[in-house]
Structure 1
Amino acid sequence: MRYPRVITLALESEVPIPEGVKVEVDGSKIRVSGPKGTLEREFHSELIELSIEGGKVKVRTYGKRKFNRAYLGTVTAHIRNMMKGVTEGFRKEMVVVYAHFPIKVEVDKGRKIVKISNFLGEKLPRYASIVGDTEVRVEGDRIYIEGISKEDVGQTAANIRLATKIKKKDPRVFMDGIYVVR
């Protein structure tokens, strides 16, 4: 038998819905649609309640615990990022840096990987996976990563950076790699 929730303290946060964005709430699941695409996410149903009231998404939590307040802020930030993603999108720029061996970067959209060849003169290429519906473009020594999900864009950039991480050598001397510029 489940006991009814004891309401001790209700904390609330609001996220305004911008023009051209459609938001659907089903329990703890939220779906945000906009001109660039659709994002869907599910949150912990026992900690928060989601509702749409007066052109705003209301996020509500109950309880006095510090964790509940922190989770409320996290959910609010995720919803804000979803709305920004479907309207503006997210973008990261990376730069390819090498001292002696020119690094060649290719994108295989079919396999959703980034192939990094001739890194430090290695014979075998290194690979980094592309997460979600993120688009990766290579122009000269710059790599542009774009998408509607902030997490997917950031994880794709991290995968590329980690693929060129040099181990067991001094990073001040061996600075070859691919780095995030902005």
Structure 2
Amino acid sequence: MSRIGKLPIPLPSGVTVEIKPGQAVVKGPKGQLVVDFDPEIEVKVEDGQVVVRRPTDGRRHRSLHGLTRALLANAITGVSEGYVKELEIKGIGYRAKMQGGKIELSIGFSHPVIVEAPEGITLEVPEPTKIRVSGIDKQKVGQVAADIRAIRPPDAYHGKGIRYAGEVLRLKPGKAGVTGG
């Protein structure tokens, strides 16, 4: 039995789950998400919990069992609490600022880079060297944060660039013969 799939998902107060064949509509205080899943997987709401069951112990059903449960749990957490990814900007003169609903990044290029938030995602700049990406869809929040980081990933020698908050980098040593610099 799948260790993840067999765990019931508790429903927080204010969150409702409507099950249709192959689809679950999760509504909560922060919004609504639709989770598509294989119609062979059985999803039911039983006394305040969402339960996921599989029809057989076949390889395909075993893999879909845990996946479906994880996607539903992420959607329930998203509509009740939301997800946040924080990014840090390191480097002399590197900074970000809000321009309407967009972020303008000055990160060592000859021109500023403009980043627009897709629908359902909120971008904030609490400090000039910090960016906060938030939303209710875990996958979309992670993808937007990864796209922003990919604009200027951290340099392996100096650590300059955009990184996730708390990300630890192993810096490479420079050339052995160079002193100071």
Structure 1 contact 94–144 (Cα < 8 Å) conserved: yes
Structure 2: state its 5+ residue gaps. Answer: 167-181
Instruction: Give runs of aligned pairs for residues 60-79 of structure 1, distance below 5 A.
Output: 60-79=53-72
Question: What SS class does the counterpart of residue 68 from structure 1 fall into?
Answer: helix
* Correspondence 1:130-145 to 2 at 5 A: 130-140=117-127, 141-145=129-133
State how far apart, in whole Å, the 1-side matches of 2:143 and 2:100 are.
Answer: 17
- The change in CA–CA distance for 1:177 and 1:57 in structure 2 (over 3 A counts) is same
- 1:16 aligned onto 2:6: no
TM-score of the pair, normalised by structure 1: 0.76
Structure 2 counterpart of 1:156, which letter? V
- What is the deviation of 1:33? 0.9
Distance 1:163 1:128, change over 3 A: farther
1:154 matched to 2:142: yes
- Shifted more, 63-72 versus 87-96: the winner is 63-72
Gaps of 5+ in 1: 1-10
Q: Secondary structure at the match of 1:50?
A: strand
Partners in 1 of 2:137 and 2:53 — Cα distance? Answer: 24
Q: Distance in 2 between matches of 1:115 and 1:83?
A: 32
SS in 1 for 2:54: strand
The 3 A distance-change label for structure 1 pair 44 and 114 is farther
How many Å separate the matches in 2 of 1:98 and 1:36? 35
Which residue type is aligned with residue 102 of structure 1? Y
Task: Give aligned pairs, total.
Answer: 161
User: Is residue 23–residue 32 contact of structure 1 (8 Å, CA) maintained in 2?
Assistant: yes
Partner of 2:160: 176
AA of the residue aligned to 2:122: E
Provide the TM-score with structure 2 as the length reference. Answer: 0.77
Cα contact 1:13–1:60 (8 A) shared by 2: no
SS in 2 for 1:62: coil
Aligned residue for 1:6? Answer: none
2:82 pairs with one of 85, 89, 97:
89
| Runs of 4+ in structure 1 over 6 Å off | none
